[in-house]
Amino acid sequence: MYRFFPSYSDYRKLIYHLKGCQGLRSKGSSPFTSIVSAAKVCGAASESPSVKSLRLLVADQDFSFKAGQWVDFFIPGVSVVGGFSICSSPRLLEQERMIELAVKYTNHPPALWVHNTCTLDSEVAVRVGGEFFFDPQPADASRNLVLIAGGVGINPLLSILRHAADLLRERANKRSGYEIGTIKLFYSAKNTSELLFKKNILDLVNEFPEKIACSLHVTKQTTQIGAELKPYITEGRITEKEIRDHISKETLFYICGPPPMTDFFSKQLENHHVSKEHICFEKWW
């Protein structure tokens, strides 16, 4: 592993531009960690016609995050600070010092840079923030998870799903650690080409068929759905009844998507007497 550091003066200037972030947190103003770490782009891929993923090698060994959190994304020469959710699990960072982001194409300057300018070995800086996360401790009570995603809102929920899978593996291999319940992902997008990380999600469903399940929704599908996806696809929006069927005192609900969707499901859950402490949400626009 090597370490690399951009010009201190470049990042000192960027740090003062707080904060061009896309996200609204679920409660109060979210704290930041004190660590602003240099990072280098070591991988990139197109996840859909409108979304590009990045893999970043993080320099600072003390940099860490919790599943579901986002990063401030500082780009040399770009005055606006980006705010992008991490879609990888904390385990990837622990083992390989890497994090993954997925960025939708917009006219927001950091998103434009990711799609039009960023190359392998581009250097940026990152800082973790946010109170939307899942970070159970080994002695905590077992909980079920219901994850409700709309569009690119899958990013933090994929991080949580991957973390849950890591917890399941740890429990199976070591017979110790946090004992998680079942995990159900509801994920809606315009069409199957915009359903991000389909293979990753279905791989986890197949790895843990008794623990992880998913329901993938498409609202404007115009082409035939492939045979491998068809068993998991529902045409139409996620419904209130689908979510209501999973309500229990042992279930935590995580919601991330467009504000109308987030507002609708959080309100419906409250109307069905789900404790506010069991409803976590992140809004994106």
One domain, residues 190 and 273: yes
Same domain, yes or no, for 158 and 123? no
Asked if residue 10 has pLDDT above 50, the reply is no
Interval 101-151: pLDDT, tens: 999 999 999 999 999 999 999 999 999 999 999 999 999 999 999 999 999
Tokens of 211: 């623990």
The pLDDT tens digits for 37-94 are 999 999 999 999 999 999 999 999 999 999 999 999 999 999 999 999 999 999 999 9
Residue type, 29: S
Q: Where are the alpha helices (DSSP H) in the chain?
A: 8-15, 90-96, 109-116, 154-174, 198-207, 240-244, 259-271
Q: How confident is the model at residue 282 (pLDDT cuts 50, 70, 90)?
A: confident
Note whether residue 148 is domain-resident: yes
Q: Which residue has the tokens 């069991």?
A: 278
Q: With beta carbons less than 8 A apart as the criterion, state whether 82 and 111 touch.
A: yes
pTM of the model: 0.89
Domain co-membership, 203 together with 164: yes
> What's the domain range around 51?
35-129
Considering the domain architecture, whether residues 200 and 247 belong to the same structural domain is answered as yes
For 113-147, give one letter per residue: b (16+ CB within 10 A) or e.
bbbeebeeebbbbbbbbbbbbbebeeeeeebbbbb
Whichever domain contains 183, its CATH number is: 3.40.50.80
Residue 170 DSSP SS3: helix
